[in-house]
Structure 1
């Protein structure tokens, strides 16, 4: 190892340790142990251009062990990403800084994914590798490999213990994603001590069973050995690769090296001094980096810029040679391509017959596929039930990466993480699907969708006790409230075809918000009053003849039709009510105050919410004087019509409840 390489590696260690110490908070262990691995990858093997962090053909790097963020920030600073300064490093974990405790996508230039929950980055890396494989199969021509990059992900023992990584890598091996390279920071330490207390499996053998090439680096401080393993991983064109890099947590700090205490607490002033002395660092001054180290990083960055320049020249010739592919590329990366569908009559058309909204969603999916080339997705082994299969588009597999139908297997958590990775990669607009009750398995990664602001669509079917005979294990009761509680997440539960199309229109046109489409198993009638106003989240679907209605019924999904039927019965008794369809509380809340007042006038306090789920979240619309026709327990196993009657979702009960608030 050259002197300048050694100093450049130690610069990562020193900056990371100083950042954690200044904040008096953070995780120095991973940065100290993995610095050689990170430098070797970023400096010698990874194609990236700090001057253009969004270059489409860059290699992707995800730090799945997001607690080691100080290492990533040090890399970004030294390479010159986004002018991330020493001052930014010194503000590590401080309010409004560019260096938060865990990496946040869209907040710090060069961060490819929001990581923190261990293992999440692993699944997102699989999604990015799938995106690369799909786009390469679609766009590459002879002598024009316009999509040709690797996905690298670095994580430790915690990431390997989390179940999501097992789910994701099992699929990655099945799909033979050879451009995926996993760097395993194997230091055998977790927060509670030696990993032998809870984790003794042979990770390498596990990955071999998945179908990975596996490599071992015995000395995690030997860049040449690490580099040879990376090149061996690249050389295998048939499998993804795992590189087990044996490291020492807290390397270089005499009092902390190899100890659990190095993981998640500052080293302390004395240990910082000892670290710098042990590394032969030329200054004890915090955040000091010699100019020759900066010069080395600049030189590497300048060389990488030339790699992009060569790609740009190739891409220009590609576009001249294949103008039809240039047009397709532009459509593939155009996030506004679906906007004009708002006025497309064919897109909004439907057959006037009772149908399940899951079936109607399937109809819309098969329209979108022809209009949005980046549309891709699938389900966790449930496509026949969730109606999410695209006709004539082929199945994504190791034999056919161009297929647009994704088969995730029974892996809901990894599916959602992979969906995030597909969206983060660029050029794709993914959807994922399962039964609504299993959103419990999906939610941690859906939460990351919200945090990152990536427009993944979650198609969640079998949305209520209407599931019927499968019983309470399969009947979602609290899930609507759970998803609605997430910031920057849109839940859309349509009542008929028009509202289902509206939900999909929103999902494929939003740029910064994930969407859940919550759909029925049972057939619903097409409602005369439904309209594109569903895009406002709530609207008057059946109005009172009075200027001020006697009462207002609010409902979503399958309960809108029930509410309209109850309105008709109430009218026979001289009670004139307004029915408001509320497919999306989030979109309604985002409307102007004047619009919300027109739909739900403050003067009308007699209000009833009707929804086959718990009432949590409806109180802000119903108020203290209102009432609910909702679930108050788990469901039961019986035909759907019997369950709706048992739990009070009948015209008679809605009528009686409205009367009770008058």
Structure 2
């Protein structure tokens, strides 16, 4: 390492500390300790072009330890990604491009929203999986148009969270040799020394999981860091580089202490840090010498992309059909499934919506070549296997069926990584009740506006004998309360087609498809209006009704039958299928009033799940037939009857509301 490298490293350190101090909020410990490894990676090994941050074949860098965001922002400023000194000065301020934790889509150069520890490394595994799948599909001899690495910088907290174990286990099993994890090993967390709660041999753990492991004894030794990265790139395995650092390095009063982790250094300590690092005194300043150095590096980076562009142009001539596919995979084609409605029009038939989904998934797989997905070891139950499309495993990354193992936590984060990488339409699947395990990753997908699809089956007490541990009650309310998540619980085959069509064409919403285990009859009048969230099926319009019955999923058939019974007594009941309150809330007020007129206050909502949220639609004069207790182990029909999900009870409650 030369003096210019050291000067640039210290510039990154001081900029980070200054941004945190000005905000009087943040985490200076990681930026001070990890700057040498981050700079070594970005300056010598990371294939990127700051002047085209979305270059498809760039290496991906994920700051899994997202609390150290000031380090990433300083890198983005120094490497000319468009972040200004003013942006650094506005760290953690309202509306700034430098929020407390990195946010994808908000700040140019941020590859992933990280904050909850462990999410970053798990999503990095997804990025590495996407790279391997795309390479297997597109690359030809002499034309490695997909050839890039995924780097993740992690801390002790990331590796304590269980999601990191799940993701690393899968990465090792799959042999993802383009994944390199850099571990900021400083033995300090918020509460103090890691000896209190984290004493395992971390490198041995990763080695047992199938990683090549490396140790850098001194986090300031950039040459040793460089040698470890070079060795990792040819190991033939996923890679784990432990870099022994000192948290808060350079601040004499705080380095190596827990107090360096999550609080500003203080102006006096920053002054002492400058002296210790032999750095200039001017605030928020980058020397011309450093700027010139980075400019030269960026010219080299631009040349790498130019060389790739030349390679791709030759590839397009040699393989024009694949080049067209590349454009489609990286574009935004619209998927049309309208022809599938006819398969579910015969009202004398019935089928579980998970089975309908299986048929649709296989139709999609034949039409959409970049459609990939899998389950947490439940494909035979969630019906998510794509026939004839191969399995993704070490030895054949071209397979489109992903096998996550029993790892719901990591599965959802990996799906995020694959989606944010680009080029693929991704789904993952498990039993609905286990979406609890996936919640954090689903929330981040919604925050990042990633169109990941979740196939969540066994959607209610209809699970039956498996009992309350497997019968979802509150999960629908959980997902419906999540901003930007679209939750859909279809009532039959046609609604399932429409739900999948919406999910495939979503650009900014992740979509949860909540599907039944038990058979449901095909209904008349259902179909593409699902995309409006709620609509009337049957002959009675809401404006003409005495009472409005509202339901989702398996309960729509129930209210439709109840409406026929009420009609025998001269009571006009409108039947509203509301598969997605999220989509309904996106409609204009006129449509919402057409389906639920303000003057029609006699309403009954029926759903075999928590009542939470339904009173918004039923009001003070309505009623909700729901489940506000956990289920029980018994045959599904018996449980439905016991808890009031019968035609007789719906009719009874409707009459009580009318009184």
TM-score normalized by structure 2?
0.99
Most deviating of 312-321 and 323-332: 323-332
* CA drift at 1:334: 2.2
Q: Which of 261, 265, 268 is residue 263 of structure 1 equivalent to?
A: 261
Q: Does 1:303 align with 2:303?
A: no
Conservation of the 8 A alpha-carbon contact between 2:542 and 2:596: no
Conservation of the 8 A alpha-carbon contact between 1:331 and 1:337: no
Seen in structure 2, the aligned counterparts of structure 1 residues 348 and 290 have a Cα distance that, compared at 3 Å, is farther
* CA drift at 1:548: 2.2
Seen in structure 2, the aligned counterparts of structure 1 residues 347 and 240 have a Cα distance that, compared at 3 Å, is farther
* CA drift at 1:346: 4.2
* CA drift at 1:618: 1.0
Seen in structure 2, the aligned counterparts of structure 1 residues 348 and 304 have a Cα distance that, compared at 3 Å, is farther
Distance in 2 separating the partners of 1:547 and 1:332 = 45
Q: Which of 314, 339, 349 is residue 317 of structure 1 equivalent to?
A: 314
3-state SS, counterpart of residue 240 of structure 2? strand
Q: Which of 411, 415, 422 is residue 418 of structure 2 equivalent to?
A: 422
* Unaligned residue ranges in structure 2 (runs of 5+): none
Q: Does 1:465 align with 2:441?
A: no
Seen in structure 2, the aligned counterparts of structure 1 residues 160 and 226 have a Cα distance that, compared at 3 Å, is same
Conservation of the 8 A alpha-carbon contact between 2:485 and 2:509: yes
Q: Does 1:28 align with 2:4?
A: no
3-state SS, counterpart of residue 42 of structure 1? helix
Distance in 2 separating the partners of 1:543 and 1:253 = 75
Conservation of the 8 A alpha-carbon contact between 1:337 and 1:372: no
Partner residue of 1:198?
197
**1:20-169 → structure 2 map (5 Å cutoff):** 20-81=20-81, 83-169=82-168
Partner residue of 2:4?
4
* CA drift at 1:516: 0.2
* CA drift at 1:23: 0.1
Partner residue of 1:564?
560
Partner residue of 1:15?
15
Deviation per residue, 1:64-114 (Å, 9 max, x gap): 000000000000001111x21000000000000000000000000000000
Partner residue of 2:627?
631
Seen in structure 2, the aligned counterparts of structure 1 residues 481 and 546 have a Cα distance that, compared at 3 Å, is closer
Deviation per residue, 1:236-274 (Å, 9 max, x gap): 12x100000000000000001000000000000100000
Distance in 2 separating the partners of 1:628 and 1:594 = 25
Partner residue of 1:249?
247
* CA drift at 1:302: 1.1
**1:415-494 → structure 2 map (5 Å cutoff):** 415-494=411-490
3-state SS, counterpart of residue 652 of structure 2? helix
Distance in 2 separating the partners of 1:166 and 1:563 = 46
Q: Which of 510, 527, 547 is residue 531 of structure 1 equivalent to?
A: 527
Conservation of the 8 A alpha-carbon contact between 1:348 and 1:501: no
TM-score normalized by structure 1?
0.98
3-state SS, counterpart of residue 488 of structure 1? coil
Partner residue of 1:233?
232
Conservation of the 8 A alpha-carbon contact between 1:455 and 1:507: yes
Partner residue of 1:274?
272
3-state SS, counterpart of residue 97 of structure 2? coil
Q: Which of 580, 586, 591 is residue 590 of structure 1 equivalent to?
A: 586
3-state SS, counterpart of residue 349 of structure 1? helix
Distance in 2 separating the partners of 1:348 and 1:97 = 51
Distance in 1 separating the partners of 2:641 and 2:442 = 33
Conservation of the 8 A alpha-carbon contact between 1:333 and 1:374: no
Partner residue of 2:328?
331
* Unaligned residue ranges in structure 1 (runs of 5+): none
Partner residue of 2:351?
355
Q: Which of 627, 636, 646 is residue 642 of structure 2 equivalent to?
A: 646
Q: Does 1:619 align with 2:620?
A: no
Root-mean-square deviation over aligned CA pairs: 1.0
Conservation of the 8 A alpha-carbon contact between 1:380 and 1:410: yes
Partner residue of 1:207?
206
Conservation of the 8 A alpha-carbon contact between 1:492 and 1:517: yes
Distance in 2 separating the partners of 1:258 and 1:137 = 45
Conservation of the 8 A alpha-carbon contact between 2:185 and 2:244: yes
3-state SS, counterpart of residue 108 of structure 2? coil
3-state SS, counterpart of residue 254 of structure 1? coil
Q: Runs of 4+ in structure 1 displaced over 6 angstroms?
A: none
* CA drift at 1:348: 5.7
Conservation of the 8 A alpha-carbon contact between 1:543 and 1:577: no
Distance in 2 separating the partners of 1:376 and 1:257 = 46
Distance in 1 separating the partners of 2:487 and 2:602 = 26
Question: How many positions carry a matched residue from both structures?
Answer: 656
Partner residue of 2:288?
291
Deviation per residue, 1:451-479 (Å, 9 max, x gap): 10000001000000000000000000000
Distance in 1 separating the partners of 2:527 and 2:302 = 51
Distance in 2 separating the partners of 1:241 and 1:547 = 64
Distance in 2 separating the partners of 1:545 and 1:407 = 46
